[in-house]
Amino acid sequence: MRFSVLRLPLLLLLVAGVSMNPARTQDGPSQEREGAQSGQGETQEANAKKSPQDGEKKDEGEEGDKPAEEKKDSDKGKDKEDKEKDGDKKPEPLTLPADTGPLLYLKGEQVIVRPGKVLANAAVIVRNGRIQAVGQDLAVPEGAQVIEGKVLCPGFVDPWSSLGMDPLSMRDGGTDPTTSTLDALDLFVHPRERDEVLHAGVVAYDAHLGYNATFGGLGAMLRSQSSANTADMVIKPRTALWARLERSGNVVGGIDEVDSLISKLQSGDRYLTEWAEYESKLADWQKEIKELEEKLEKDFKKAKKDREKDLEKAKESGKEFKEARHKEPKAPRKPRFDADKDVLGRVYRGELPLVVVADGAAVLRNLLVGTAELPSLRMIIAGGGDAMHVAPELARRNIAVMVWPVDSIAHPVGAEDGANGLALAGDLVRAGVPVLIGSGISGEPSALPLYASLAVGYGMPEDHALAAITSRVADAFDLQGELGSLRRGRLAEILVLDGPPLSVGSRVQYVVSGGEVVVQPKE
Amino acid sequence: MLLELLLSLAPAIASGAAADTGVVYQADHVHVAGNKVFSPGQVLVRDGRIVAVGEKVDGGQAPQVELHGHLSSGLIALGETSLLGEEGTDTTRFLMPEVEARMTFDPSQPALARLAAEGITTVVLTPPSYNLLAGRGLIAKTAGGRILAASGPMHVAFDSGMFNDRPDPTPGADFGGGFFFFGPNGAVNPNGYRSSYPGAADLLEKAVESKDSAAAGLKDGAVRAWLRSDSRAESSRALAFAQRHKVKGTLEAGPRIGDLAPQIKESGLGIAMTLFGERNPHFGVQSALALAKAGVNFGFCLDAGAQHPVRLRLAAALCRRGGMEEGQAFDTLTAGAARAAGLEKQVGSIAAGLDADLVLWSGAPTELTSRVLQVWVDGKSVHQAAAQGAKE
């Protein structure tokens, strides 16, 4: 049948169009942007907006046996959608099977719900890998393992870590925007290091590859806890696009790199526009074809009769019979698929954050000028040795700086292996710039809380320093619904300490990660 | 000479009347040494020295100054190698016990001010370890240029290349066939044979036994020694040397020194530990714990040319994270380090008669979250932190 023949390629096209379709739903970027914006602010209003049931008050007394599937965050749903669209067949790492994992009741004299907000004598109930309730008058559920401590605190999250990455891939010079961190994740290397990191209270970290490339690819948020299974370690497979400027080490070259970076982001945007145009043309065409089909179907009987009549006539007259031909409208031409441009376009539109590793004042200034016209771009500066030179602009645009404890290229004088970067943290906060603290390419992942302590020693307020390794990191990577705070529905990544989190005298007594107790006192 | 005189008078002139009456510092917490803390406490300082300390002191006419924070004595960095001038580096002689490091010391170099700004007020400067005997080191204040010991400890480098019995792998280092061979650090071996452990040990023994050599003072502890070592084998050699000649002084040692803690306690030597950082601190921390358990006095070395001065406190913080209690960790930076270098009668704690080297911290001195608010050396304020902004 002619009609079915017409339909088949159409369906195929539709499927292909959707599966490779880089354009997102209209509300996509704006929603995500909202989250990120709030991430850099003091409060988490956006969180409240997204999940109004999260308030501690409401959590009180709720044992909440609701499993993890009850996902309220649009982010997550979208993530899933992303993957389906991209044809990513990997199992969804966030989905925890129902009724598995231990039931935990953690009680603390002080419960740091998020930096700056402390509940006295409160408890946290964990099941199925997630926090089910937080409150001051929670009863111990039956069968729960009870853990008591002085301070409960969200697990530390390192926004830039080298833990568990294959070193050569990490310093690769040939990566591109679609390179996936997961490709270099080595599950079996350095079990002792993972252990030390976990004992220091660092439960999760963002890692990426290609330090020596312009685009290091897509970072991933991973768990520190060892697992034989990659999926168990992945909290978010694609957190941000990482880029690095000044690879040449010279200033003018660095400026060129800024231009090139921005034009690549723009080309990504054009690419997505091209796809959007194609989609709309495709829809028009499909509509037209459908109408045509309907018309043909409707006129089928009449057409058949007409045809028979004509055939008869032709026979009578001895003339040759010509079949009526239907002119089919031409299908729009599909743009060529380009995975790199897809990612760049999403970054341009603010669907994914861009982390730019850069230090020099000239490059930072050019980067800020160049990106001023990209209103949706969500940028984070990593390194930022000279960031104080552009601090007012960073503060005005709420661009966070990820500080790491290493010599800054831009400061050959006094470039000791030490706390330079952390002194920067205090200075930036005083200038009103949001700050994250990471261990970076060559820092020690297990020393993350010590780096935060040092930053306090350099004048960073303590709540800011704690936020710089917890909630702010979650916000920066659109994980405010998962990490960085002790609220209902968040992943159960919790520390039990015998003192304030940033005191060197405090011991991490218990670590709960993935909903299980993974560190406990020896004996 | 005139300049020196003026310098010594300067504090007296600057503080005017205070030089007679002194000043009482009243602080929220006064960390005397170890776990001993007065909260609040008072310290009476007069003429650059601590006169009294306690919950309350009788200051007589002395004005009282209120300080908000924790007051401790200044920190001590041991085994600093990068602050001596190039003149101190001589790679042509194995034995130069007569050399004095203070001749190459520049008290106005900016690196010293950076140390002071991090609360480090006393620094033990050691000559580089090219030479088996590198002469006398130097102990100085980080501000004001005062030299604590006119002649510092005598340096014996058990980590000198001379003790290395393998040929230098550097191409061209071995000339071969000549009368002189070059040791691994380029020092000419006057004996004409390749530098080796037995050769070097022999040279050293002869120098100590020779009445003509300044090194003879090492015997029976007449002159304090600074024995440099790195590996465990080198430390063992140094320890044996010290026991053989009844040497008194300090053993500078690497991160594995904890294994030898009982022998060190017996020898009476103090330990200057190579500074460890947050990367692989395991052996260093374990050694520090072993030394503390054995009751050995020890502090940390700092190389200000390569290491940020805050790393001194970072090492103590890593010890704390490894299980060391607060007072012990604090002592590795102050009183313990002073005892390890034989300076306990001058610096390292807040006690009557000691130099008024004080640091005001925003929190406990061993906490990395604490910052330096003010530093005094010999009673004189030498550093004051810039006021923190309003964003806090």
Which residues lie below 8 Å from residue A152, measured CB to CB, with a gap of 6+?
A106, A107, A108, A110, A111, A112, A122, A124, A486, A494, A495, A496, A497
d(CA A235, CA A153): 19
Q: Which chain A positions have a beta carbon within 8 Å of B366's beta carbon?
A: 504-505
pLDDT at A162: 87
Position B119 pLDDT exceeds 70: yes
Position B214 pLDDT exceeds 70: yes
For the stretch A367-380, pLDDT in tens is 999 999 898 999 99
Interface of B with A in 111-170 (CB under 8 A): 114
Q: Which chain A positions have a beta carbon within 8 Å of B317's beta carbon?
A: 450, 453, 504
Do A504 and B317 count as a contact with CB atoms less than 8 A apart? yes
d(CA B189, CA B210): 19
Q: How confident is the model at residue B323 (pLDDT cuts 50, 70, 90)?
A: very high
pLDDT at B225: 96
For the stretch A225-270, pLDDT in tens is 988 888 889 999 999 999 998 776 666 667 788 999 999 999 999 9
Do A450 and B388 count as a contact with CB atoms less than 8 A apart? no
Position A476 pLDDT exceeds 60: yes
B369 reaches A (C-beta below 8 A): yes
How large is the greatest C-alpha to C-alpha distance in chain A, in angstroms? 107
- Mean confidence (pLDDT) of chain A: 79
Is the N-terminal amide bond of B40 cis, ω within 30° of 0? yes
Least confident of A98-102, A118-122, A501-505, B2-6: B2-6
Do A417 and B306 count as a contact with CB atoms less than 8 A apart? yes
Do B308 and A419 count as a contact with CB atoms less than 8 A apart? yes
d(CA A487, CA A50): 13
Report pTM: 0.80
Do A453 and B371 count as a contact with CB atoms less than 8 A apart? no
For the stretch B86-113, pLDDT in tens is 666 676 677 888 888 888 888 888 889 8
Do B388 and A504 count as a contact with CB atoms less than 8 A apart? no
pLDDT at A493: 96
Residues paired with residue A357 on neighbouring β-strands, in sequence order: A244, A382
- Mean confidence (pLDDT) of chain B: 84
Do B317 and A447 count as a contact with CB atoms less than 8 A apart? no
Do B366 and A505 count as a contact with CB atoms less than 8 A apart? yes
Q: Which alpha helices (H) appear in chain B, and where do they start and end? A: 2-15, 18-21, 110-117, 197-209, 232-245, 261-267, 282-294, 311-321, 326-333, 335-340
Do B371 and A462 count as a contact with CB atoms less than 8 A apart? no
Question: Which of A431, A457, A505 has the CB atom closest to B371's CB atom?
Answer: A457
Q: Which amino acid is at A282?
A: L
d(CA A432, CA A453): 19
> Is the reported ipTM for this assembly greater than 0.90?
no
Q: What are the strands, taking DSSP E only, across A320-473?
A: 354-358, 379-383, 400-403, 435-437
Backbone angles phi and psi of A245, in degrees to 5: -105, 170
pLDDT at A449: 95
d(CA B289, CA B286): 5
For the stretch B170-207, pLDDT in tens is 434 443 333 334 444 444 444 444 456 777 788 889 89
A433 reaches B (C-beta below 8 A): no
Shortest Cα–Cα distance, A365 to chain B (Å): 24
Q: Which amino acid is at A171?
A: R
Position A415 pLDDT exceeds 60: no
B244 reaches A (C-beta below 8 A): no
Question: Which of A419, A431, A503 has the CB atom closest to B310's CB atom?
Answer: A419
Which chain B residue has its CA at the smallest distance from A454's CA?
A: B368
For the stretch A88-113, pLDDT in tens is 444 333 343 456 678 999 999 999 99
B228 reaches A (C-beta below 8 A): no
Answer with the residue of higher pLDDT: A187 or B228: B228
pLDDT at A241: 96
Interface residue of B321, B330, B333, B366 to substitute, partner A, most A CBs within 10 Å: B321
Do B371 and A458 count as a contact with CB atoms less than 8 A apart? yes
Q: Which chain A positions have a beta carbon within 8 Å of B373's beta carbon?
A: none
Q: How confident is the model at residue B62 (pLDDT cuts 50, 70, 90)?
A: very high
